[in-house]
Amino acid sequence: MLYVLILLLIITFVLPIVSKKVEKNLEVFLFLVGLAASIASGVLNKELLLKITENKFMYIIAFAVLVGGFLFKALNERIEGAIEYALKRIPLKIFIFLLIVIIGLLSSVITAIIAALLLVEIVSILPISRANKIKVDIVACFSIGLGAVLTPIGEPLSTIVVSRLGVDFWFLLKEFGVYVVPGIIILGIIGALFGAQQNKTIDHSQEITIVETTSVIIIRALKIFLFIIALELLGEGFKPIIDAFILPLDTRYLYWVNMSSAVLDNATLAAAEISSKMTETQIKAVLMGLLISGGMMIPGNIPNIISAGKLRIKSSEWIKLGVPLGIGMMIVYYVIIFAI
């Protein structure tokens, strides 16, 4: 069984990169892999299916994506006008810096989903090349992934951590703010560097344009719904691997192994790994490893999926920046957590 699950895990990492067909149908692919993993591990049963259908978060996210899509469609001209007005008065690099920092911090209040929807609308309008729009978006998704953890309402991972540790609403902000906020500011600086093409000739044939029709909005919401089901199946299906190879690891190794959250649901991993018996350092190591690596590949976070879908970002394009940026951040935080 474990060999089959390991093979499925490898397939989950590799196929979206090498196959364009898989890349275009990522949500369906992840659902099928999750289904296969659940069958292989013997956990696919009526109880699991019932548990998945009772996940209120799944419906809330899909509904937020649906409503957000229609809302941004209705307000598109006003949003575009407001951004153009701001760009005439604020240097582009400063605007991008503020966008990444503010969207990251706001995600803990408005949720990572709404933050991602707002992000793609703004990024699509920026007067920079398509390549740099993609880079700004990826950096901003890292920012959202970090910032959303600061309150229990930001994302499922933070909700699970607060619940498992039995702590108050402000625990994550008090304990992780010192790590997260400077990280978001640095990401803002990195993202601002991609505003360098504002005065250069831009190939408009390569520009990102978001054509929002009713069918597009509905299909996107359904895909997100399917993606969340896929994450549930992947988490349960790969649980034997988590139990056998991940949980027994020393925290220093677990920090790096948690890069698997680049394709696995970080909330599921957090639920399996976080315990009130852990030391403060262990909790920080586990959580920061999950948060950072979630930005490395498209399946790592729901904001990544939303951005990639709306801005038509390929897996290869995401990995080109996401992996080196994620590894660089992992190294820096490893030194901060374990060496300082």
> Mean pLDDT across the stretch 191-216?
65
Is position 94 within any domain?
A: yes
pLDDT tens by residue, 234-247: 878 888 887 787 77
Is position 4 within any domain?
A: no
Compute the chain's Rg from CA coordinates.
Answer: 19
> Mean pLDDT across the stretch 95-123?
92
Residues 6+ apart with CB under 8 A from 285: 251, 252, 254, 255, 337, 338
CA angle 160, 57, 164 (to 5 degrees): 10
Q: Higher confidence at residue 206 or residue 53?
A: 53
Is position 29 within any domain?
A: no
pLDDT at 75: 82
pLDDT tens by residue, 209-262: 566 788 888 988 898 888 878 877 887 888 888 778 777 778 888 889 888 777
pLDDT tops 90 at residue 39: yes
Q: Please state the pTM of the whole predicted model.
A: 0.80
Q: Which pLDDT band holds residue 204 (cuts at 50, 70, 90)?
A: very low
pLDDT at 207: 54
pLDDT at 327: 95
User: How much is the mean pLDDT over the chain?
Assistant: 85
Q: Which pLDDT band holds residue 2 (cuts at 50, 70, 90)?
A: confident
Is position 5 within any domain?
A: no
pLDDT at 205: 46
Domain count, the chain: 1
Q: Provide long-range contacts, Cβ within 8 A and 24+ apart, for 10-16.
A: 12/234, 12/263, 12/299, 13/262, 13/263, 13/297, 16/297, 16/298, 16/299, 16/315
Is position 16 within any domain?
A: no
What range defines the domain where residue 288 resides? 43-195+210-339
pLDDT at 272: 67
Is position 160 within any domain?
A: yes
d(CA 290, CA 277): 19
Is position 7 within any domain?
A: no
pLDDT tens by residue, 273-289: 777 777 888 888 888 99
Is position 13 within any domain?
A: no
Q: Higher confidence at residue 142 or residue 65?
A: 142
- Here the tokens at position 208 are 């990102």
